[in-house]
Amino acid sequence: QENRRAAQEKADAVIADLRAQRLTRAADLIEESIDETLTYYGFPDSHWRKIRTNNPLERIMKEIRRRTRVVGAFPDGQSCLNLAAARLRHIAAGKWSARKYMNMAPLYQEQHQTHGAVA
């Protein structure tokens, strides 16, 4: 949805529809967790797309999966864990850790304006 109010209205409609279908447990679960789901609306618009996706995590998992398939069978669980940890260390030390995924300036600017108005 374009904004939090529209998203909340859509969630309310889904909850009402689930209750009409007598799926009360599903409706209760949505009702209990909708605020957490819509948290990203509290961030600047430019961050929404990045927050809603988990593409960087999926990319890391795909890379670890690719490397474990090459090995095939591990002698034990610790060997697999060591390979995954080594790859994560490589990523943390490499170019991925140096890249900015989100420009935090709008968030800091918004916080500064909020705290500046209070002071």
Q: What is the pLDDT of residues 53-66, one digit of tens each?
A: 667 778 888 888 88
Identify which has the larger pLDDT, 83 or 92: 83
Domain total in the chain? 2
CA neighbor of 40 nearest in space, from 27, 28, 31, 53: 53
User: Is there a contact between 18 and 27 (Cβ–Cβ < 8 Å)?
Assistant: yes
User: Could you tell me if 13 and 32 lie in one domain?
Assistant: yes
Mean pLDDT over 111-118 rounds to 60
User: Could you tell me if 11 and 57 lie in one domain?
Assistant: no
Domain span at 98 = 53-118
Looking at the whole model, is its pTM more than 0.85?
no
Which pLDDT value is given to residue 42?
Answer: 78
Identify which has the larger pLDDT, 81 or 118: 81
Q: Among residues of the chain, what percentage have pLDDT more than 90?
A: 24
User: Could you tell me if 26 and 58 lie in one domain?
Assistant: no
Confidence bin at 30 (pLDDT 50/70/90): very high
State both tokens at 100: 């900015």
User: Is there a contact between 31 and 15 (Cβ–Cβ < 8 Å)?
Assistant: yes
CA neighbor of 92 nearest in space, from 80, 102, 84: 84
DSSP alpha helix (H) spans, 1-119: 4-20, 24-37, 45-52, 55-71, 77-93, 95-98, 105-118
Mean pLDDT over 90-103 rounds to 71
Highest-scoring range by mean pLDDT, 15-24, 78-87, 100-109: 15-24
User: Could you tell me if 33 and 66 lie in one domain?
Assistant: no
